[in-house]
Structure 1
Amino acid sequence: MLYYEKSGDSYKNDASHDYFFVTKEGRSNPQLEWDNSILAIKDRRKVGQLKKEFQCAFPARYELIIKKNPKLKESRDCPEFNEWKNEIGAKEIYLVYASSYVSNPASMFGHSFLRFSRGGKKRSDSLLDYSVGFMALTNPDDNAIMYSVKGIVGGYIGHFDIKPFYMQVGLYQNAEDRDLWEYKLPLSTQEVDLVIKHMWEVSRNTGFPYYFFDENCSYYVIKLIEAVNKNWNITNKRSYIFAHPIETLKWVKKRKGLLERQHFESINKVLRRRISQMSKDEKKDFKKAKSNLEVLKKIKSIAVLDALIDYWKFENYDKKTILTKKEHALMDTTFSMRAQSRNRLKDEKTILKERGQDPQFFHDPNKLTLGLSQTSGESVELEGTYALGYHGLIDNPRGHDDFSYIDYFSFSFKLKKSFKIKRVKLIEINSHAPFYWELPKLSWRFNSYYDNEKIVLRKKNSVLEGGLGLTLFISERSFQYSFVNIQNRIHSRGVRLLPEFRTGLKLVFNNFIINPEYSLIELNSKERHSAKSDFAYYWNENNGVIGYLKNTVGDSQQFEFGMKYRIYL
């Protein structure tokens, strides 16, 4: 419960405040802290930041000590703690996972927190529950570089943040276009009670260093459970360098199991589905009625009004209720007009039917790809790629929402007569935000890598590439995309800026993917065309086969094909 970590023959503790301990020396000496805790109980000493008697400041620790020393038990009135505990009223605990945020691929790792359920079975009941997350206290004056550096090296302190669950729904499901997935944790009534008591201890007395890639939001909500039940022991047995929220969800599933699951789609996802099922005239009315009060007052279609309600819910949350006078009038009129009609859409159940990929089935982050390839005029060679993460266009689609893609820290090699590094990738990001004329949103991409293949410039070069484009979904999981990019290629003789046009399809059929793509680059007033098609099939979460065909036409023509096996580690 005090988050000690063994360091050689001694102990260390990353708690940010000494209030968390009865004595300062107890930070590095568990036995001394235990002995002084017993003395504090006997002496009725005031401890902790709130300066309360031990059982009121540290109720979970007190319960643990009393189990081993029952003679120390005395009745004490702790009004502040009891009022707080009764207000939370937890009977069950759910692990909540917020999926990625459309247009922000960095959020693909997700976010996780806990919901303290009072036992209600309806969605309206859960909105009144409390939730707890581990959040970094950042400095608003830090620029993007300082923010990134501090986040990586633990320069921010994180604290457990308790708030009503409806506020989390408003932020993630409504304002940030993220689905919420809830999983009931297999905890007994006594364990739930002990978690709440321990929550009081940490939330009132300390914080911990926050690391974006490791000891982050998901790591500490799991540590909170581990603190009251040593048999969980999940974070100490992880096998990955990074502790992404989606990975901790799978750790819990693997080690302890997850009970009942609930899924709640984002407002924007439902809104996009409503628009896709409208007639052409309804789509025109929706687009105009968003900004024209006179057009809005003439709307008769229930489908348009329902879509406008979802639209204004999102706008209101996204803008933190700070709407203009005109926007308020449009929103209020929309709700008033819809309230006057009791009719419901015939296909409302179809629109609201649960969709989405359960993140607990997402593949493991690290991946190794090995296989054979052949380039025209050359013999067969062995090639492979190892990546620390995370998810690209032809990775296993199960458990992924299809909007955001991010791959990082990988290197590709080939082996024929000698070993050769083909490419070292720092990061590749693809954001495929669905584009609707009624809800226009651009897609974007960024890529940074070292190119040793000498195909484009005939020399080794480092590449920074970025672009904007459009993504049109042609089904729930398949889409067409087009980008206009600029490649900045840095080599020994200088820098080259190359314009590029890229277009392609991603077609998903259960666990089978086809990804044909065409690109055009202008180089030295000449055009270089490249057409390729990747395809992949996965027979379970962590194993699959990948094939590709590629034809490049420029100063010369080059055809390449290959077949590889991919395993996620």
Structure 2
Amino acid sequence: MQLKLILLFFWASSLYAGEDFAFSKPWLNLLHYKKGFFGYKSRAKRPEFFLSSEGMTNPKDELVKTLEAFNRDPDLACRFPARHKLLRTQTKLKERGACPELDKWLKGIDAGDLYLVYSSAYPSNPASLFGHTFLRFDRKKYSDSKVSSKLLGYSLAFQAQTNSDDNSFIYTFKGMTGGYDSYLEIKPHYMDIGAYNNSESRDLWEYKIPISEEEKELMLLHVWELITGTTFSYYFLDENCSTHVLALLEAVKPEWDFSSKSDLFVVPQTTLIEVLEKSEHRVVGFRPAIKRLIWARVNRMDKGELSRVFAAKEDVNQISKLKTADEFDLLIDLWKFDNYKAGTKLDASSKEKMDKVLIARANLEEAPIAIDLKEENQDRAPDLAHKFKKLGVGYLETPYVEFSYGFHSFDDPILGYDEKSYIKFLEGMIFYEEKEFELRRFDLIKITSLQNFSFSYPHFSWEINLFANQERREEKLPKKISLSGGIGFSLLRSSWQLFFIPEAKGSIDTGTGKKKIEALLKLSFKKSLTKNFQFVFESEYLPSKSSDKEVLLGPKFNLSLGRQVVLEVGGEYLSTEKKMRPRAQLHAYF
């Protein structure tokens, strides 16, 4: 009897991982626990993800019940293989046996190198204005071919489980309030290229993440647990795709503790920069959006070549008049763009035309001319971006302080950003005059979404702005609240951007109760003179004769003194005052 007790003691000891391990980073991260004011709670939502009835909020009890369950049912390791692998480093659990479904899945994934992929903003969808991040594995099987290894590899992305019947208002409301669940989706990377590069015309940037074979195996085993066992809450602002990507990386690299996932707003670009700071590794890959590629081809051609291409696009009988590989390749890209915009559901006639174009191109004995846009777009690599909070001091007839919570305005340095999306949030200007402080303007939010306009593809730009400003100089706080918005057009080039947007502006003076609706015309231009030096011109015109300010002009030069500090020198012209007021400002991003 005594011998049995001794053996039982040693058996139990071999399985016991220790109370401290229940609150260690490896265990907490793998179960997605987050410590709050009332203790721990896992972000995983489904009860079946836990082996304890209290597992969602009790890391210690979940550890105890997990060890008991593995001992009682060894096959459970096929359901929770990452958990089993981790606990084997702390206990004497038996090695996992054969798991036919899991082993077949791992063999099919055939994971090689790991990459963090950043998709640029999608102007047509406000929920994608911050961009998107996901992970991608190469395929070992195709390691001799970079193209095949990438296209046939698998991507890992956290997506919101949306309802196709939800309109834009419901979609936005649910996305902001946790009305959707988030799930981990794994699929061939070529499908992401079709969706992001071609259908939504978004640039893809990717960065190699250093990961050991042990860490890679743990990640894949954990991915299996997630796709078969749970979902997460989805909040557009702070528990989004990037939040869960960071959590997945932390699960296999506990020493990586990302602070950006706890920000008030979790911005994909910010999380990307933090991952690269942790990894101390920067190998950049770039795949341009299809519209960027189309514009590059267009700029290489003369009017005669373009005329033949667009004639062939309208009339397939004109294909015989195409002369060069460039002309065929542009036509194919145009068809590809139309095909994806139609959800790959082109009518029979259009498909027949596309087939004829592809056959004609195949019969042309001329190799495709590769267009490498990586070099000319290198300054837009998202890891080069400034941080999104801003604080500055300046002078405009009197000293002032400017502050902003985020994120990136039209007049900010372009380095690290694309030319399409600008978001200003919680930005204000406090002036100091006659020994008193005055908050003269406060922007709650301003979104400017730009798309390149052409008559062949007439995509429109839009802007919306909710702000408060000072109506009378004797006021210490702004009492005029305004909402403006409109639709216009943009011309976007690699070194300059121009947009014109007619808007409607509604305002109310909270002091007098006076309401007003008026037209507002905006014209803005930005030119990059060098990588760190740019000229910006912004103007507003209020046609209403009763308006206090009919014309506002704001030319200025911006000089970047490093990535996080900018010096602005320029002026403001008000038609009512008929004078140019010089302005200078120094601000930092943090």
* AA of the residue aligned to 1:384: V
Within-5 A mapping of 1:322-361: 322-344=345-367, 348-349=370-371, 355-356=377-378, 357-361=380-384
Alignment of 1:163-312 (within 5 A): 163-235=187-259, 240-312=263-335
1:80 aligns with 2:97: no
Match of 1:517 among 538, 558, 575: 538
Alpha-carbon offset, residue 437 of structure 1: 3.2
Q: 1:536-551 residue pairs with structure 2 within 5 A?
A: 536-551=558-573
Which residue of 2 is the match for residue 429 of structure 1? 447
Aligned to 1:378: none
**Matching of residue 26 in structure 1 with residue 55 in structure 2:** yes
In the alignment, which of 19, 35, 40 is matched to residue 69 of structure 2? 40
1:266, CA displacement in angstroms? 1.4
> Are 2:534 and 1:534 equivalent residues in the alignment?
no
Equivalenced residues, count: 548
Are 1:137 and 2:161 counterparts?
yes
Q: 1:118 to 1:302 in 2, by over 3 A?
A: closer
Q: 2:82 aligns with which of 50, 60, 64?
A: 60
Counterpart Cα distance in 1 of 2:446 and 2:212: 44
**Relative to 1, partners in 2 of residues 1:153 and 1:239: Cα closer, same or farther, differing over 3 Å?**
closer
Partner in structure 2 of residue 413 of structure 1: 430
- Report the 3-state secondary structure (helix = DSSP H, G, I; strand = E; otherwise coil) of the residue aligned with 2:255: coil
Q: 1:535 to 1:104 in 2, by over 3 A?
A: farther
Structure-2 change in CA distance of 1:504 and 1:158 (3 Å): closer
Deviation at 1:23, TM superposition (A): 1.8
The two structures, once aligned, show a CA RMSD in angstroms of: 2.3
Shift of the alpha carbon at 1:525?
A: 7.0
Residue segments in structure 2 that go unaligned for 5+ positions in a row: 1-29
Structure 1 residues 127-171: Cα deviation after superposition (integer angstroms, max 9, x where no partner) = 111111111112333333332232222222111111111111110
- The Cα shift of 1:90 comes to 1.2
| Contact 1:20–1:205 (CA under 8 A) maintained in structure 2 | yes
Distance 1:328 1:352, change over 3 A: farther
Match of 1:114 in 2: 135
Identity %: 32
Correspondence list, 1:385-464, <5 A: 385-417=402-434, 418-454=436-472, 460-464=479-483
**Structure 1's 370 and 239: CA in aligned 2 closer, same or farther, altered over 3 A?**
farther
Q: Distance in 1 between matches of 2:450 and 2:167?
A: 27
Counterpart of 2:553 in structure 1: which amino acid?
Answer: A
Hey, what does 1:482 align to over in structure 2? 500
Residues 416-454 of structure 1 deviation map (CA, whole Å, 9 limit, x = unaligned): 121111111122122221223333322222222112145
Q: How far apart are the structure 2 equivalents of 1:143 and 1:351?
A: 37
Corresponding position of 2:32: 3
Say if 2:413 and 2:532, in contact at 8 Å, map to a contact too: yes
Q: Is the 8 A contact 1:103 1:432 kept in 2?
A: no
CA deviation string 1:247-276 (max 9, x = no partner): 110111122323422111112111011112
Pair 1:209–1:238, CA change in 2 (3 A): closer
Alignment partners' CA distance in 1, 2:72 and 2:127: 51
Shift of residue 366 of structure 1? 0.8
Q: TM (normalized to structure 2)?
A: 0.87
Q: Please give the per-residue CA displacement for 1:324-358, whole angstroms capped at 9, x wherever unaligned.
A: 2332233222222222212357x754668662411
2:343 aligned residue: 320
Equivalent residue for 1:506, pick from 515, 526, 541: 526
2:390 matched residue in structure 1: 367
Paired letter, 1:472:
L
1:85-143 CA-partner distances (Å, limit 9, x unpaired): 11111132111111122455653311111112224251222111111111111233333
Larger displacement relative to structure 2 (514-523 or 264-273): 514-523
Check the 8 A contact 1:105/1:430 in 2, yes or no: no
Question: CA shift at 1:54, angstroms?
Answer: 1.9
Secondary structure at the counterpart of residue 396 of structure 2: strand
Distance 2:544 2:39 in 1: 62
CA contact (8 A) 2:288 2:373 kept: no
Q: Distance in 2 between matches of 1:224 and 1:212?
A: 18
Structure 1 residues 262, 319: CA separation in 2 closer, same or farther (over 3 Å shift)? Answer: same
SS in 1 for 2:488: strand
Inter-partner Cα distance in structure 2 for 1:263 and 1:352? 6
Q: Which runs of 4+ in 1 moved over 6 A?
A: none
Give the partner amino acid of 1:391.
H
SS in 2 for 1:5: strand
Residues 496, 25 of structure 1: alpha-carbon distance in 2 compared, 3 angstrom cutoff: same
Q: Using the TM superposition, give the Cα deviation of residue 530 of structure 1 relative to its aligned residue in structure 2, in angstroms.
A: 2.8
Residue 217 of structure 1, CA deviation: 0.5
> Contact conserved, 2:138 with 2:154, CA < 8 A, in 1?
yes
Change over 3 Å in CA distance of 1:435–1:2 after alignment to 2: same
Question: Which residue number corresponds to residue 484 of structure 2?
Answer: 465
Deviation, structure 1 residue 308: 1.0
Deviates more, 1:517-526 or 1:203-212: 517-526
SS at match of 1:419: strand
Shift in CA distance, 17/75, structure 1 to aligned 2, threshold 3 Å:
closer
Please identify, of 253-262 and 401-410, the stretch whose mean Cα deviation from structure 2 is larger.
253-262
